[in-house]
Structure 1
Amino acid sequence: MQTHLPTIRQLRYLVAVAEHLHFGRAAEACLATQSTLSAGLQELESLLGVTLVERTKRRVLMTPLGDEVVVRAREVLRGAEDIADLARAAGQPLSGPLRLGVIPTIAPFLLPQVLPDLRRSYPGLKLTLREDLTARLLERLAGGGLDVALLALPFDAPDMEMVPLATDPFLLACRPDHPLAAKDAITGADLAGAELLLLEEGHCLREHALAACSLPGPRRGDGILGTSLGTLVQMVASGMGVTLVPELAVRAGLLRGTDLLTRPLLRGGHRLLGLAWRKSSPRGAEFRLLGRVLFP
C-alpha cells in the first residue's frame, strides 16, 4: 500500500509557523497567503492524523508532538536544500543563493575590498550576508540558517569543517605620547602593566588578542570594555589606555582620522581567519573556491 508523505511545502509552512508563532508572519516568510499556509498545515495534520499546532484567537502554540515534528522537518528541508545545492555546484560553482555569516571584526574591513571582484567573477551568485558574533553564527550554521561562515579560528564545533585562509597579525594601538609608543615592538610584559582596553565578552577577538600576548583574561567586570573596534579606537584616542587591533582593520582605515600609532608584537601574535561549514554540506569544494576568492 502506498504511503502518502508530507510535501516540502507543507514542512516549510510548519517550520515557519514554529519560528514565528504567527500565521501572518509565517505566511509572509514563505511568500504565501495566510489562507494558503493555513490550508497547507491542515492538509499536513489530516495526512498525519495528528494535531501539530494549537490555534486560538489570541495566539498560536506548537503541540509537544508538533515540536518534535518540526525538528525532523528541519532536517528534511536541509537535506532537500543539499540536493539542490549539489546539483547547482556540479553545474556552475558559486552561483545561486549563498548565505554567508561574518563576524563584525572581519566584515567591514574585508568585504568592501573583495565583494566587487566576487560579483564580477561570479555574476550568478546571489550572496546574502549576516554579521554576528561567533556563537550565534555557529548556531545558525548548525541549524541550516547559514551555508558558510567567515570566522576567526579555532573554535569548538566538531560537526563543522574548518579551513584556515590567512593570518591576521595583532598590532598595539596607542597615542604618540604613551610610553609604549617609544618601543619598536611590544611584549606581553609591556602590556601587563598597561591599561589594556578590550572588546566586551562574546567577541572572539578579545580572547585571541589576550592569547597572542600570553596574557590571562581579566575577571568579569574588570577593566574598560568596548562594543566595537571603532569604539576602542576612540577610547584610546581620548587617553583611556591602549588596545590591540588586527592588521586587517588597520589596513582598511580603522585608525583614519586619529593620530594613533601602531607597534608590532615582539612574538608576532596573530589570529587565524578561515571558513567553516557543516561537514554534511555537499558544497565543500565550492566553499574552498570562495575562500580563494576572499584571500587570493
Structure 2
Amino acid sequence: MQALPSPQQLRYLIALAELRHFGRAAAACSVTQSTLSAGLLALERQMDAQLLDRDVGKRVVFTPLGDEVARRARVALDALEAIPLIAQAARAPMHGPMRMGVIPTIGPFLLPRLVPLLRERFPGMKLVLTEDVTERLLEKLSKGRLDVLLLAMPCMCDGLETIPIWRDPFIVAAPPGHPFAINMADVPLNRLQSEHMVLLEDGHCLREQTVDVCRQGGSWSGEESETAHTASSLHTLARMIGQGLGVGLLPRMAVDSGILNGTGVVTRSIEGGQAWRTIGVGWRAKSPRAADYHALAQALRALAPGDTSVSAEGDPAVASAAVGLEAAV
C-alpha cells in the first residue's frame, strides 16, 4: 500500500505555497525553519517527485507539479479537517470558535447590536471577528482562516453558500444648499447620472454597488473622472459630502447609526430602480457546519430594521447569484 502524505506535511506545503517564504511558512506552522524544510524534503522523497525548484537561488519557486500538489493538498486537508468538525457540530451546535469576517461598511454600524445578540443566543460560541474588504475576506475564507462572512450582496461569491437576511436601502446624501436638499423630497434615479459622486476607494464592494445604482438611471462616467473624490471609509465619505465635494450614496444602516451627525448633510430617498444592497451570510460550500450558519442567519434576522427581511426567492439579485452558485458547484 502506498504511503500517504501526513497532514503536517500538507500544512507545510500549503503554508509555503501561500507565503512563498520558508521563515514565514515555518512561523505560520509553529515549527522551526529546519523542521519545515526537512518535512518537505521527506515529502518529495516519499513521492519520488520534485515539488520545489531549488536552482533559482533563495526565491521560493514551485515546479508545475508542486503547484498542482499544493492545490490538491488544500482540498485534501479541508476534507480531513472537516471530519472532527462534523462530530463537534453534532455534539454541541453553535459551540466553540466562530471566526467571522465582516466588511467595513457593515462592521461599525452592526457590531454594537450583533455582539450582544450572539452572546445571548449562543453563550457557548467564542466569536472571533476580522474586518476587511470583501475580496480579502473571501481569500481568507477559502484558505480556512475564516468560517463565515457577513456580506453585502450582490458580490462575486463563487464557491460560497449564501443566505440573504435583509435589504439595506441606499440613501442619497447631499451637502447643505444642494438642489436635492432644497427642492426634492425624493431623488429620481436618473438625476444621479449628472452628479459628481463621492465614492469609496477601490476594493470596497459599496463602490461597485454605488456605480451600479447610478448606471441604472442611464450612462454615467463619474467613476472614471480623474477629479472624482474617493474615501477610505464611510465616515470620511460623509464628511467629504458635508464639505460640498459632491453627492454620495450611503447605506441606511450607516445613516441610522448616526454617521451624519454634525456634518450638515441632508438625506433623500431614491425613487425608481433597485437602490439597495442585501445583507447576508456566506460560508464555504458543503461546510460541515452549515447547520450552524443557518442558525446564525436566522438569529441575525432579529437585527433587520422594519420589513426589510428577504429570502433568496424574494431578492432578484441574490436569487440570480444563487443560481450561478448552484451551477458552479
AA matched with 1:286: D
Residue segments in structure 1 that go unaligned for 5+ positions in a row:
none
Verify the 8 A CA contact 2:173 2:250 in the aligned structure 1: yes
1:40-79 matches, within 5 Å, as 40-55=39-54, 58-79=58-79
2:224 paired residue number: 221
Distance 1:4 1:149, change over 3 A: same
The CA deviation string for residues 153-186 of structure 1, in whole angstroms up to 9 with x for no partner, is: 2234453222110110111212332221132222
For 1:23 and 1:96, locate their aligned partners in 2 and report how far apart those are by CA, in whole Å: 32
SS in 2 for 1:195: coil
Distance 1:20 1:159, change over 3 A: closer
For 1:279 and 1:198, locate their aligned partners in 2 and report how far apart those are by CA, in whole Å: 32
SS in 1 for 2:271: coil
The alpha carbon displacement at 1:71 in A equals: 0.7
Q: After superposing the two structures, state which structure 1 stretch, 131-140 or 5-14, moved more.
A: 131-140
Match of 2:279 among 266, 269, 273: 273
The alpha carbon displacement at 1:42 in A equals: 2.6
Verify the 8 A CA contact 1:27 1:33 in the aligned structure 2: yes
2:191 paired residue number: 190
For 2:48 and 2:96, locate their aligned partners in 1 and report how far apart those are by CA, in whole Å: 37
Distance 1:95 1:155, change over 3 A: same
For 2:195 and 2:18, locate their aligned partners in 1 and report how far apart those are by CA, in whole Å: 47
For 2:300 and 2:100, locate their aligned partners in 1 and report how far apart those are by CA, in whole Å: 12
For 2:266 and 2:149, locate their aligned partners in 1 and report how far apart those are by CA, in whole Å: 32
Q: After superposing the two structures, state which structure 1 stretch, 79-88 or 164-173, moved more.
A: 79-88
AA matched with 1:234: R
For 1:106 and 1:150, locate their aligned partners in 2 and report how far apart those are by CA, in whole Å: 8
Match of 1:290 among 287, 291, 296: 296
1:262 paired residue number: 267
1:154 paired residue number: 154
Distance 1:236 1:112, change over 3 A: same
For 1:218 and 1:120, locate their aligned partners in 2 and report how far apart those are by CA, in whole Å: 47
Structure 2 residue 135 is the aligned partner of structure 1 residue 132:
no
Verify the 8 A CA contact 1:148 1:287 in the aligned structure 2: yes
The CA deviation string for residues 1-43 of structure 1, in whole angstroms up to 9 with x for no partner, is: x321111111101111222232221121011233332332232
AA matched with 1:103: I
For 2:160 and 2:41, locate their aligned partners in 1 and report how far apart those are by CA, in whole Å: 37
SS in 1 for 2:61: strand
For 2:267 and 2:53, locate their aligned partners in 1 and report how far apart those are by CA, in whole Å: 60
Identity %: 46
Q: After superposing the two structures, state which structure 1 stretch, 215-224 or 11-20, moved more.
A: 215-224
Verify the 8 A CA contact 1:45 1:51 in the aligned structure 2: yes
Residue segments in structure 2 that go unaligned for 5+ positions in a row:
303-329
The CA deviation string for residues 25-69 of structure 1, in whole angstroms up to 9 with x for no partner, is: 112101123333233223222221223234577343323322111
Count of residues paired in the alignment: 295
AA matched with 2:105: T
Match of 1:248 among 222, 247, 253: 253
SS in 2 for 1:280: coil
For 2:113 and 2:220, locate their aligned partners in 1 and report how far apart those are by CA, in whole Å: 33
Moved over 6 A (4+): none
The CA deviation string for residues 206-257 of structure 1, in whole angstroms up to 9 with x for no partner, is: 3323444523442653133333212211111111122110011112221133
SS in 1 for 2:287: coil
Structure 2 residue 31 is the aligned partner of structure 1 residue 32:
yes
1:90 paired residue number: 90
For 1:221 and 1:209, locate their aligned partners in 2 and report how far apart those are by CA, in whole Å: 13
